[in-house]
Structure 1
């Protein structure tokens, strides 16, 4: 089976059948080119309906009835006693679309019908009112006014300087007119009015305005005259076109007869003098409609046309009540008109349409088969390419475009030349073009199947080598080259567009700019993705990884580098946290191990102190031992406290604390230490209670550490300032003293662990007091700030106030 399907003979037969049917289809297209049928009309023809039963015929008939009614309307404008009369007196108002608010001039001024018809057939020349008045007043026009106002007729030459008026601006001319009693403004002088090649039977437009001393409606009258002349030109053309068609008896296949209730014939192009309309329509009309206005009923001959029920207004005649309106088509088609042509096309081209549809279907089947087997062989599953298939894709596509353009170029020839010799030539050339185009398309199909459409293209080769070239260039060099290429291409395309006016090149420019915009947008999205990844990493999400799947080039390299940095930071942080945890555990374990023997030492020292020791030297040793053991105890407690804070292993019991009471209590406990160093406390605190939300034991530790710091490091015989301020939102507590030793370090360093203001370490202390105080303050939602200025030391603590 595969041998038959993939054999060269089978392919050749399918190809030849396709090309023969292409030629057949083109020939039928020439034959059917003059048929104007819609898809629905073709469907009706294929279903077996006759022309007179089709919607196509019904639409034609309704349109023709509409034209007949329009012709009857125009008869009222152009005819007298049933015949065209150019001497008929008419007004402008008769030819306006809306005469409900027309000017008095259009309603009253009488024209000869033939004058208006002649005027409408030529060019309607428009001039400004300034020119019209100048021609009128100074005799440069060819129309002699019937009567001029006395102010103009009797004006002296000195009153009107003709040369000056002709060259003056509108305002000067308007002032001159006002001096003559003519009320016309400078704005009115700019209005354009028709140059009156034909006059009314009474007076001209200028005379009319002068007699009424009113130019206010001049613009409205001008527009009405233009509208009327344009309508007359259109109506007169239509009237002449259909006069013989509708008025001459037996002049077309379309028949119409209208008779009033008296028996007088209102409209007739079918019935002779001695013929009854009913007898004529029943004998000769295969598809007729008779409307009886008296009974408001329709009757039909042979075929019922439902469309008339939705178009009853077409059969209504103004100023008539009881009448007969009969229309129909003589199916003998004795005359050549649109109905006979439509009937022929409808009935005689049905078979041609069937052949055309079947041919196109077989062409499609053959084409699908050829596409499916192109490049295939019965020997293996590979795609086989010939020599033509291996040329560059753009060259092959260009050949296909040229061939396709040739086919499109020959398509309109039939509309220009219907000679048989020309049609035969076109059919032959299009057959050849079709064959070449099919071979070209099959070649492209084989390229797609073999995966060579892109890889074998010139563009692919350019991009490939460009990537190799760009890979080893700096970013700035790449940007300069790309931007220069963009400018050159853009300016080149725009130069072609502006010089040649080429719409195609303008379209190419839009596509090019759009592609560049998409590329830049993709780059921006990629960069934004990288920035989002960086922000997450900087915010502490070290596990975040930037997805590099859709990233290309330098963006991919950058994202991978950032991922590596994030991974390195993650590892570094893990190591640091592990080390910190080990330190904390070490401190906790060592402190715990020291605490037990230290407690024993303190207890035994206390027991020794209770003994009645009289040796002063031994007493001194005991006092030193007591002090050092207490210091070691405080250090151990500070280490454990700092360890708990740093590890987060601390539980706070937040309650409402009276800060004023806490300060007073702390001051009382440290009064002895302050007194020993001669420190004078200057305290500024409110008398009323000021409350904060804090852990009682922890906030006491904070304040205690601050007072301890003062007791240890404040200069002897100096002042210590204790301030507490409170507003409705927060409580601010500050302590300020003069340091005994110069503070030559950064304020932030004092809150680090094991940092002491006493560089010589001659005073007692662990270097953990301020660090513990700051961390405990922060844990209780407060702020802790240190300010240093020389030997001035100040700590400020802020807490939210609780009412």
Structure 2
């Protein structure tokens, strides 16, 4: 069979390459459909349309929008110049009346007072930011802050003849007399409080958003009032704004006007700097001239073309008319000419926004030099990008269409030839690849997953396209981002095309070979079910064959219910199938009950074997089916456990016997060696090296004797062959005895014993001989491994019904083992095993402690070695104490009689 593998592979590669290039072309269209231009208001992004390809840049939406922005900037710049310049120069010492300035901005608050600051101070103040601080005062202090408010000139009578407070009021003599009489009518003890309440109510009403009050526990009112932090002084040297107001209403208005002025001038100054840089002479391709004639006859001309500054209006008009794109507007005579796409209503709207700054006699000339001789401004940059992009967009679109056609043609050919090969006689035959045998349902799921992944990838592509031109990075960084974005688009196109083709051609091969059903999960499921039914029916195992009766049982019940339903109109005939179903259910119920009883017997047998009756056997003759097999398995498990336990016990006994016998066999020659060494020592041999040899023999034989005794003791403990003679025992006395007996050995290593609690009785119930062995092992361990010249701490505590003894010392070598490992057999702190010891001392001590119902713990903290012995406290019974007291009395009587 001859496949067209190479040919299809090459065409497939061409098809995927076409998809890759198609996505690159799409990316180029997307990337070049946006134009980013830097303006005075920041970077603006414009979307380009292929429909603009036949237009000039000056007729494009981009040019018109840039021109409108420039006109807005220039008109705003003229206003700012009038605010902060003197004689066409920035004047930092210009005096600014804040009330007049705020009122001109149409956002100021009506105010009868004002304050004057220098321009530079206000701009710097705005850059720092306006700050407020809460002034806290009583209500009386607040209303009288600017002077007493109880004088009659601050009050008037309302329409009902009631007193009301006014900051200032012009009144006739009659009105003043009436006010004075109303004030005198108030009791003198209440007069001041009443008048202050009226004043406070007035101030709160007029400035409710600024004044906050709280009532204290004693009923007094505390006032919280935000007052501006005066960073700079006025031109007359007054730093406190309150000095310019006579009441709170005026102060609040003045404070608001100051904040508005500060923030406005700071923003205006920043705009002034930006626009001055963009629109100064020879800085860009936009030309402007604005001439104003004030009502007092003063003419001011603002322009970035110095040669026409002193020219007449007609001369300026002739100059600007020479440009291809210009705008000329005389608001006073409503004359408007221009070819920039900007209408008279638009520029009138701009001027109306600043009508307070532009007098009626204002003439405006604005033009753009469309030869763009000055590189770098927004018009130049936009024109360069426009000329590079717009004429080429159609080429990109046309190339994309050709790539789509190529991709479709190759796809159609590969679809027709998919799964077709030729035999030796050049006859077409069908074939399938390995992927074509994957279940079709799984292929469909994978295809849906690929579509979902492609959707996610599409969102990522669009996000990438936005980030390329919405980024404000430098040009070099932007080009790098664009290159990476092209790569992302290319990879996406190649991957999507490849994934689609893999699934598509596989489906085509399946359709041609008619294996859509045979290679499906549903077909496998149905065929597997048929095989399973055959397996169940033909299998002889009871566990499997029981499924058939169960299914028949369900079907019989369903059939009985259905038959009874069909015969419901035939009299009592419907009872027959119902009774049959009930009888069947009863039989099955009895069988299930019996099976459950057998399972309970099996569970009971398992429990008894678990509890140690390994010789227990289940009666398998009374069981049936699966239960019999299970019982046989349980019996075999019990037999296996019995054999394993017997073997383990034999092994442990063998180990114990081996240690005991070997130790006994060693003791006989060892005793002889020790005796002969003793005889040699009695000869008092002084010659060397004989004396040294005898000393070594004596030391090693004693060590071997100790090891043998430890082995025997450890063997007895592990096998449980020790007999304990438990009796009341004072652990403190035992420890004191050990300290005395080991004092010489401890002194040799310069170890100082510190015994805390040596006078505290610690009564326990234990074997005194075994307890001495425990303590002896512990003190020997200290003598061997404690750091020379250190202290050994011995502590005894009796509390909570427990007697706890602890020994602490510093090890003379690093401890690289855990505490619990040191109490195992043949484990020594000296890993090199160069010191004396068998490695059984702590093991014997721990097990003897546990055998006497105590707890043995080893704790390591760096080189600190700590051992804890914890025993239950022995409480002598009351009857025993009575007997002891009687014995003591009798002994005392006997002593007296003898005397």
Q: TM-score, normalised by structure 2?
A: 0.39
Larger RCO (alpha carbons 8 Å, 6+ apart): 2
Q: TM-score, normalised by structure 1?
A: 0.43
